[in-house]
Amino acid sequence: MAIPEHFHFIFGLRPQVEPFHLAWYLCLRSCRLVYPGARISFHYLNMPHGPWWDRIRDQLDLVPLGHDGNVFDTRRYREHQEGRFIESEGLSYAHQADFLRLKILAEEGGVYADIDTLFVRPCPAEWWRHRCVMGQESVDADPPTLCNALIMAEPRAKFVESWLERLTRVFDGTWNRHSCIEPALLAKELPDEITVLPPTPFFHFRYDQAGLLDLYARDRVVPDELCSIHMWSHLWWDAKRTDFLHFHAGQLTEAFIRRYDTTYNRIARRYLD
């Protein structure tokens, strides 16, 4: 069996009060242009709206999620400070997506990617012949964490099904215990069921301040091995959050992308009409 060229995105797990953002359009548009023959499934609970959405919707397979959102025990957020912060900031939708992405991949296979991804070049052909492929998020941790922002898997992949079976049990309300630490632990138990890549192909730009500055304030040469960029948008999207960047989603406009030479902008311009 092989990994199908079928991309999955999850969106709209909370009401859509703002128009579909340009960054999300560029994610889907870059996927369509980098993988012109791929099927792109857009799994949604609340339908997006706005001019950027109108430009891309006809290029997608729209898949209503039809779930009630109760996929994990939210009481676990209240057991520690990090969990209480996640709940107070309304970020639990990201954890709902952690569960849903594994269910979708277990059933259909393909590639799950977060909506704040920018595709750069196709993945090597050999990766599509593996059972499951993930990239390291951090090589400093022990074990190195694996990032679930992009997962490649064949249908009914043993690694994905085993991870999904553990998910509810290990979910503790923290940001990444179930989503990044657990797959790293599982990869040690099932080394033949997953191909672990270094950070470069998917997560070359780190989630720390230096990595975010390299993406949005500096113009860096990207390595030839870079296949996609993860934007780490939860760290800077809200204008109130300035602990990583003095930059927010309202500043990421078409005019900004066209005018300023940053690493992200230079690549994103390829996908502007």
Over residues 205-232, the pLDDT tens digits come to: 999 999 999 999 999 999 999 999 999 9
User: Mean per-residue pLDDT for 61-86?
Assistant: 73
Q: Is pTM, for the whole model, over 0.85?
A: yes
Note whether residue 253 is domain-resident: no
Note whether residue 212 is domain-resident: no
**What's the total number of domains in the chain?**
1
User: Mean per-residue pLDDT for 243-247?
Assistant: 94
SS3 for the chain is CCCCCEEEEEECCCCCCCCCCHHHHHHHHHHHHHCCCCEEEEEECCCCCCHHHHHHHHHCEEEECCCCCCCCCHHHHHHCHHHHHHHHCCCHHHHHHHHHHHHHHHHHCEEEECCCEEECCCCCHHHHHCCEEEEEEECCCCCCEEEEEEEEECCCCHHHHHHHHHHHHHCCCCCCHHHHHHHHHHHHHCHHHCEEECCHHHHCCCCCHHHHHHHHCCCCCCCCCCCEEECCHHHCCCCCCCCCCCCCHHHCCHHHHHHCCCHHHHHHHHHCC
Residue 22 sits in a domain whose CATH number is 3.90.550.20
What radius of gyration, in Å, describes the C-alpha atoms of the chain? 18
Contact 120, 231 (CB under 8 A): no
CB atoms within 10 A of CB 240: 7
pLDDT at 66: 78
pLDDT at 211: 96
Note whether residue 232 is domain-resident: no
Note whether residue 194 is domain-resident: yes
Q: What are residue 165's phi and psi, to 5 degrees?
A: -65, -30
Distance CA 212, CA 235 (A): 9
Q: In this model, does residue 144 exceed pLDDT 90?
A: no
- 88/7: higher pLDDT: 7
The region of weakest confidence among 35-39, 43-47, 67-71, 238-242 is 67-71
- 111/171: higher pLDDT: 111
Q: Report CA 174 to chain centroid distance, whole Å.
A: 18
| Tens digit of each residue's pLDDT (9 = 90 or more) over 86-99 | 677 676 778 889 99
Angle between helices 92-108 and 158-170 (to 10 degrees): 150
- 84/269: higher pLDDT: 269
Note whether residue 265 is domain-resident: no
Q: In this model, does residue 131 exceed pLDDT 70?
A: yes
| Domain of residue 66, residue span | 6-207
User: Mean per-residue pLDDT for 52-79?
Assistant: 82
User: Mean per-residue pLDDT for 244-259?
Assistant: 97
Split at pLDDT 50, 70, 90, the class of 69 is very low
Note whether residue 222 is domain-resident: no
| Tens digit of each residue's pLDDT (9 = 90 or more) over 162-211 | 999 999 899 888 878 899 999 999 999 999 999 999 999 999 999 999 99
Distance CA 227, CA 261 (A): 20
Q: In this model, does residue 67 exceed pLDDT 80?
A: no
pLDDT at 99: 92
Give the closest residue to 235 by CA, choosing from 256, 202, 206.
206
Note whether residue 193 is domain-resident: yes
Note whether residue 76 is domain-resident: yes
Q: What is the mean pLDDT of the chain?
A: 93
